[in-house]
Structure 1
Amino acid sequence: MAEAHQAVAFQFTVTPDGIDLQLSHQALTEIYLSGMRSWKKRIVRVKNSVITGVYPASPSSWLFVVIAILATMYTRSDPSMGLIAKIQEHLPVSQSMSTQCQAVVSAVLFSTMLWLMLIFTMRLCLKQLLSYHRWMFEQHGKMSTTTKIWALVRIFSGRKPLLYSYQGSLPNLPVPTIKDTVKRYLESVRPLMDDKEYERMTKLAAEFESSLGNRLQWYLKLKALWASNYVSDWWEEYVYLRGRGPIMVNSNYYGMDFLYVTPTPIQAARAGNSIHSFFLYRPTSTPLLLHIYMIWLLRSAVPCCSYQFERMFDTCRIPGILTDTVQHWQDSDYIVVYHKGRYFRLRVYQAGRLLSPREIEFQIQRILDDPSPPSKGEAKLGALTAGDRIPWAKARTKYFSSGVNKRSLDCIEKAAFFVTLDDEEQGMMGDDPAASLDRYAKSLLHGKCYDRWFDKSFTVVYYKNGKNGINAEHSWADAPVLAHVWEYTLANDSFQLGYNAEGHCKGDVDPSLPRPVKLSWEIPPECEEQIAQSLAVAQALADDVDFHVFSFQEFGKGKVKKCRVSPDGFIQMALQLAYFRERGTFCLTYEASMTRLFREGRTETVRSCTNESSAFIRALEDVCKCLFRVASEKHQLLYRLAMTGAGIDRHLFCLYVVSKYLGVESPFLKEVLSEPWRLSTSQTPIQQVELFDIENHPEYVSCGGGFGPVADDGYGVSYCVLGENMINFHISCKHSCPDTDAHKFGTQIRQALRDLLKLLSPNQTEPSKTEESQPKVKKEQ
């Protein structure tokens, strides 16, 4: 067979005349091409390291400085003020080196030192400029003189930045003062407490501020001087990796496919284009894409930290007894595919080149057509990643540390990413599109609890009808980073690669491609029992999740902006109003804000429930238009403070970690960190608007993504503002709580949005109150 012939490079037999050696030239050619690809990637990596290391200068600028200095030598001028002569005096004496040659070498050395000093100066200036954030707090259209001067950041930004060009110039996250953090915290909890409770909390805060707080703050300042970011490593360790409960639902999140269209109904074809696009996006695939990353991230003269992109591919969360770890490998050339209880290793490179979409489709179809049954215990093996972490860590050590099980597990963990070929159909379809969207969301969040590998950096799911989606592990990066690759993949799949008339990927197939390799397992009965226990835990968690997804199309950010308010502030006020109408009270509200303006920044919390928002909601029937604007402006102020390193919660979290290291108890911090977030919210913005023509093709929009509820008696709400006339919502809660209902809360959100727009624009025509399940664009059939 062709694949068997390619599997070996040498064949030999012993004959009476000696050893008869036969070489497989095709196999040797593939080995050679594979080695060349590996070396090219190493060269590209070194080249990019040099380019980013000298940014904002360029390597070619070194040659310019050297030529300029050498030119001055012939005009008998000395720009070095005698330094070139000093360098020449200390050069090793060589009989073969003339005096003129020594002078040239000295000039080159001086030029190099001058060039490095210029780079250091430019990076220092760039870092100072990037530390300025007052521009965020200025009114639109009113730019101060200081901000205009700050625009000099463009001068020091160089040309064609790569993905990591700005990393060395980004400022460190500042440590807020204890006084400011405590003051903002007390202000944030005032609408949640009565006078007696607030007085007690004020006393605790004052006691903390005057005593233990200053001691803990000293350690944090010391860490901020030493580390790139005083929050991120502890946040990853204690918030994500040390959690011992299931990461499915509780931590992992998902992203959806296009809402109204499916580019092809052929499952293997959709996987072919999509998988090919993922590998095009990977930095090691092409150096050109590194430029595109940074241009998309910039949007203006202000860069964002890019370190989270480093672990997007070839990454897996490894379970441990006390804490998990995140392992990252280099440039895996394969993926692992799950289908009907079996795991397959699929190489996406052949003879040093990336397989075409049609070839990947061909390989995926081979897996779909493979009739082999799963090994004993293999079918539901993935449930170990969905259950509690300690049993999974113990099982991994006991049953997967040697032999065939270790080789197969290593294959999964080191893969570029994980793929599931789901045998169900999902999407907005049928007679009840609203209910089908809810089922689609639950499927992406947890599936069958064993058909995703929840530890992988991300799992791509391809459904039987051509729909797809993505599930991501949270510890390695935040949602905007994964959303970036997901946007690129969706756009490249449909608008660049496309499909032929039959719905297959374009191009030809090499039928001699080696077949995907089915992974082997030897699962003992004791391990099967643990798999069953983990599955029971995960299934109970999955069954408890109540999900509601809907697309609100009565109006969008277009009409909201005409009211001269922030769309995000508008939606947050609507969520506060909806929650108050449902529960008759206010709650601690979490909104995620990014801090990637700083090196290794991740997220900060915006506490959306404020004195201003609660005052507005209580006075809704009176003079509330003015109060709404005050509340919305306060929310925007809190959002900007969070983005610029002046948030509350990450500072308090790090103070708590320091107190634990010191072995001291703080009643104030203990109470602060135990408060439940009954309303946890997050916006998923479209980052690459240039990839989608929402005005002319509104059907090609993703529904966004969502996550599970943070509190057992609360809601998780993710929303995505698409174009001018659409807002998509993902609402989650738990069936086990009698006080929460995702669908009822969705109804309250719809009405709150209508009421707020009517309040701000009383003269406009009231939008039609049709069901959002009937989209303005044609429903997918």
Structure 2
Amino acid sequence: MAEAHAAVAFSFSITHEGWDVNLDREVLHVVWQSGIRSWKKRIARLLNNVHNGVYPGHYSYLCVLIGIISTMHLNGFRAPFNLPQKILSISPSQTIHWQIGACTISSLAYWLSGVYFLRYSLKMIFMYKGWMYEPQGRQPSLATRIWLRLVKIVGGWNTPKLYSYQSSLPRLPLPSLHDTMTRYLKSVRPLVADAKHEKLKVLASEFENGIGKKLQRYLVLKSWWSTNYVSDWWEEYVYLRGRYPLMINSNFYGIDAIMLHPTTNQAARAGSIINSLLMFRRLLDRQELDPILISGLVPICSWQYERLFNTTRIPGKKMDKIVHCADSSHIAVYHKGRYFKVFIYHRGRILKPAEIQMQIEQILKDQSEPQPGEEKLAALTAGVRTHWAHVREQYFSKGVNKSSLDAIEKAAFVVVLDDFPYEFDMNDPSKLDRYGKVLLHGRGYDRWFDKSFTLCIGSNGRLGFNAEHSWSDAPIIAHCLEYILLEEADFTRFDHNGNTLGNPEFTPPPPSRLNWEIRFECQNDIGASLDIANKLIEDIDLRIYVHDRYGKGFMKGCHLGPDAYIQMALQLAYFRDAGKFCLTYEATMTRLFREGRTETVRPCTEESSTWVKTMEDKNASVEEKVRLLRQACRNHQKLVKDGMSGKGIDRHIFCLFVVSKYLEVESPFLKEVLSEPWRLSTSQTPHGQTKRMDLKKHPKCISAGGGFGPVADDGYGVSYIIAGEDLLFFHISNKKSCPTTDCHRFAKQIEQALADMQELHIQYNQIARD
């Protein structure tokens, strides 16, 4: 309807009486308002770019400086380096106008010099990472105290915007080849027998003294030339060149704050959340979102936020690409096999929750049937990438199919209105498991897996999301989810009937059905992708274990870091489950550096394996078990800090491997290292990224976290969130086709490991009191 209306906004015809011009003022007004909004965004971006370009300085200081230099010069005082007089010496005149011009140019030179001095001073200051290794509860070292003072002085000249720190963040340092080889050999010691370890030592030595030197030289050059020597290759080779299905294998999911249920009205919840997401997008566009600062001082990179909205992964025959639109004035909505285009602006403003609710209600009431091939179209995004690229080029490159596909791919985001409820019941764990599976893969054809994220809303008003992984890591989408949940917690958004508060100011434009002409051959191709998706769905199992016996509070009372504590519990649980140790992956961020993404921490260490074996030794004393646990946790925390500060193992080895492929050289060492499967892949879901998150004020507001599929066919994917002082969520996945893994069994092992660690400290405290 909207497209048809726009088509006749301006028309003309030639008759025997002359020209007949027809103007639709309403549509022209909409076009005018759209242009105004676009220009406002351009001006705002220009001002933000100027602000960020001179940060930590400010252009207001330039005006002050011009006044000071002009006053000095006109009163006979000499400015630094006598710059105004030198400029006047080559000017055609000495009039007052030329003198003011010379003072202005001189002031600009002084100001820019000061700006760049502050910026590079800040970059040098942020290169210091000694503050991360300071012992908890003790006075910092002299070096760290000096560093803290410098950060406050140099960084306190101006109020930062979201991207203000980007140019002041240091580059990710490239570790030396020797250090990486040493760390690698230490990391695999508990996983291999003595003979295998000796073989690895020989391979590592040959690599370090042979081809590794040549590969490292290329990496040194790349680290000098590029902003980040890892991120572009990581995005390309780990994600975009992958030809495997995104569903389960790459995409991840996140769940609502399940302890809260503000409304059971699906349309009202959709209206509220969509409005909050659009407000969050506006904060990003205007850079009004505060940058995240560790301890209120140290910024982390905000680069990944740029592609949160208006972004889609486009399939290619050999390599996909990420396409980001500068703006989008609509969202795409899927309901009962039909796709709708929903406009989200009116006269330059975002539609209110009540107005969006009206649009969603129209979709829910729509009784039209899906067009041929429309219902299961998104199965193409769940299948093999090469197949999707071929189908897209053959059937969706022109005509009505291209127009409708553009409406989805260029939407701000996709919303799925499911026709069944998302349920949670502490007395029936299977309901939460189904909740997670619905978000991880749905039916295989009702999630647009290429989109940066798909917002999914159940018929009872609960929600979640499915996110594509190539454009960012989980903390970005977790921050967005945290914001929209806090909006509902901080402000009353629903009335006693469950509808959104407030009255619509006008009747919003109705959603328009997307039209498709999907031929029979294309429907067969959709069916082929759906067959692959169904096989993946049938093979995946998921268990979401809710641990409420204790949480972060007890762990801190044991003088142990919560993340290290949980990682040790996972090591103990896996050893009991499999009877051996395995190569374990834990993701940690490298966003202390510009364009940083993640690094791998290897939690299975000599210290952790020694503690696990001691826990299984009935003759070992309580004191010995506690001592070894604390030692293992301290070592794990150091590994996390090493990864965050650019001293990791795996990203360096990955980049060495990429260079070897470019040079077409083979390395037995790299082949051996990269063939090792990650049978236990773990990640902590972050929360509390903003100052607004106050669990004392909103103890039930936190999300239940999210999860992902296993990395290895015979392994587990484990995501966990420390949801409060006394609550933990574990999202555990495995493949049913593997006879040695069972997520339900592993959840019980985690439960027992946590119980044993609690009992261990209770006994230890009792012995200490006695």
* TM-score under structure 1 length normalisation: 0.94
Residue in structure 1 matched with residue 667 of structure 2 by the alignment: 666
Moved more, 20-29 or 398-407: 20-29
Cα drift, residue 299 of structure 1: 4.5
Q: Is the 8 A contact 1:2 1:512 kept in 2?
A: no
Would you say 1:526 and 2:521 are equivalent positions? yes
* Helix, strand or coil at the partner of 2:730: strand
The 1-side partners of 2:170 and 2:638 are apart by 21
1:146 to 143, 147, 170: 143
The 1-side partners of 2:313 and 2:285 are apart by 26
The 1-side partners of 2:334 and 2:640 are apart by 41
The 2-side partners of 1:169 and 1:642 are apart by 20
Residue in structure 1 matched with residue 645 of structure 2 by the alignment: 644
Cα drift, residue 689 of structure 1: 5.8
Cα drift, residue 599 of structure 1: 0.5
Q: Aligned partner of 1:619: which letter?
A: T
Cα drift, residue 473 of structure 1: 0.2
Residue in structure 1 matched with residue 546 of structure 2 by the alignment: 551
Residue in structure 1 matched with residue 297 of structure 2 by the alignment: 301
Cα drift, residue 27 of structure 1: 3.2
Q: Is the 8 A contact 2:88 2:94 kept in 1?
A: no
Cα drift, residue 513 of structure 1: 2.6
1:326 to 1:689, Cα distance in 2 relative to 1, 3 A: closer
Residue in structure 2 matched with residue 128 of structure 1 by the alignment: 124
Q: Is the 8 A contact 1:3 1:515 kept in 2?
A: no
* Helix, strand or coil at the partner of 1:293: coil
1:619 to 1:4, Cα distance in 2 relative to 1, 3 A: closer
1:596 to 591, 594, 602: 591
Cα drift, residue 489 of structure 1: 1.1
Q: Aligned partner of 2:90: which letter?
A: H
The 1-side partners of 2:249 and 2:745 are apart by 22
Cα drift, residue 724 of structure 1: 1.2
Any gaps of 5 or more consecutive residues in structure 1? 767-781
Note the alpha carbon deviations across 1:664-687, whole angstroms, 9 max, x for none: 000000110111000000001213
Would you say 1:281 and 2:280 are equivalent positions? yes
Would you say 1:379 and 2:378 are equivalent positions? no
The 2-side partners of 1:284 and 1:415 are apart by 18
Moved more, 360-369 or 684-693: 684-693
Q: Aligned partner of 1:150: which letter?
A: W
The 2-side partners of 1:509 and 1:684 are apart by 37
Would you say 1:259 and 2:254 are equivalent positions? no
* Helix, strand or coil at the partner of 1:641: helix
1:617 to 1:117, Cα distance in 2 relative to 1, 3 A: same
Q: Aligned partner of 1:146: which letter?
A: A
* Helix, strand or coil at the partner of 2:581: coil
* Helix, strand or coil at the partner of 1:381: coil
2:428 to 427, 433, 445: 433
Residue in structure 2 matched with residue 777 of structure 1 by the alignment: none
Cα drift, residue 28 of structure 1: 3.2
Q: Is the 8 A contact 1:181 1:648 kept in 2?
A: yes
Residue in structure 2 matched with residue 244 of structure 1 by the alignment: 243
Q: Aligned partner of 1:757: which letter?
A: Q
The 1-side partners of 2:65 and 2:258 are apart by 55
Would you say 1:215 and 2:214 are equivalent positions? yes
The 2-side partners of 1:689 and 1:600 are apart by 20
Aligned residues: 758
Moved more, 618-627 or 657-666: 618-627
Cα drift, residue 559 of structure 1: 1.1
Would you say 1:587 and 2:587 are equivalent positions? no
Moved more, 570-579 or 11-20: 11-20
Cα drift, residue 586 of structure 1: 0.2
Residue in structure 1 matched with residue 198 of structure 2 by the alignment: 199
1:292 to 284, 289, 294: 289
Residue in structure 2 matched with residue 513 of structure 1 by the alignment: 508
Q: CA RMSD in A?
A: 2.0
Moved more, 70-79 or 671-680: 70-79
The 2-side partners of 1:46 and 1:497 are apart by 35
Moved more, 298-307 or 376-385: 298-307
Q: Aligned partner of 2:61: which letter?
A: S
The 2-side partners of 1:385 and 1:11 are apart by 39
Cα drift, residue 19 of structure 1: 5.0
* Helix, strand or coil at the partner of 1:337: strand
1:223 to 1:107, Cα distance in 2 relative to 1, 3 A: same
Q: Aligned partner of 2:630: which letter?
A: R
Q: Is the 8 A contact 1:3 1:513 kept in 2?
A: no
Alignment of 1:730-745 (within 5 A): 730-745=731-746
Cα drift, residue 17 of structure 1: 6.2
Would you say 1:675 and 2:676 are equivalent positions? yes
Q: Is the 8 A contact 1:256 1:470 kept in 2?
A: yes
Q: Is the 8 A contact 2:482 2:702 kept in 1?
A: no
Q: Aligned partner of 2:67: which letter?
A: I
Q: Is the 8 A contact 1:6 1:26 kept in 2?
A: no
Cα drift, residue 740 of structure 1: 0.7
1:469 to 464, 470, 488: 464
Note the alpha carbon deviations across 1:78-116, whole angstroms, 9 max, x for none: 12333211211223x3xxx65222111111101001100
Cα drift, residue 751 of structure 1: 1.2
Cα drift, residue 515 of structure 1: 1.4
Would you say 1:119 and 2:118 are equivalent positions? no
Residue in structure 2 matched with residue 163 of structure 1 by the alignment: 162
The 2-side partners of 1:765 and 1:11 are apart by 87
Note the alpha carbon deviations across 1:419-453, whole angstroms, 9 max, x for none: 11111111204x95310000000000000000000
Alignment of 1:291-440 (within 5 A): 291-294=288-291, 296-429=292-425, 432-440=427-435
Q: Aligned partner of 2:154: which letter?
A: F
The 1-side partners of 2:748 and 2:219 are apart by 45
* Helix, strand or coil at the partner of 1:427: coil
Q: Aligned partner of 1:561: which letter?
A: K
Note the alpha carbon deviations across 1:583-640, whole angstroms, 9 max, x for none: 1100000000000000100000000000000011111241221111111111001000
Q: Is the 8 A contact 2:55 2:158 kept in 1?
A: no
Q: Is the 8 A contact 2:45 2:285 kept in 1?
A: no
1:370 to 1:463, Cα distance in 2 relative to 1, 3 A: same
Residue in structure 2 matched with residue 775 of structure 1 by the alignment: none
The 2-side partners of 1:299 and 1:146 are apart by 17
* Helix, strand or coil at the partner of 2:237: helix
Q: Is the 8 A contact 1:284 1:331 kept in 2?
A: no
Percent same amino acid among aligned pairs?
51
Cα drift, residue 497 of structure 1: 5.3
The 2-side partners of 1:4 and 1:461 are apart by 29
The 2-side partners of 1:753 and 1:689 are apart by 29
Cα drift, residue 6 of structure 1: 8.0
* TM-score under structure 2 length normalisation: 0.95
* Helix, strand or coil at the partner of 1:536: helix
The 2-side partners of 1:239 and 1:455 are apart by 16
Cα drift, residue 29 of structure 1: 2.9
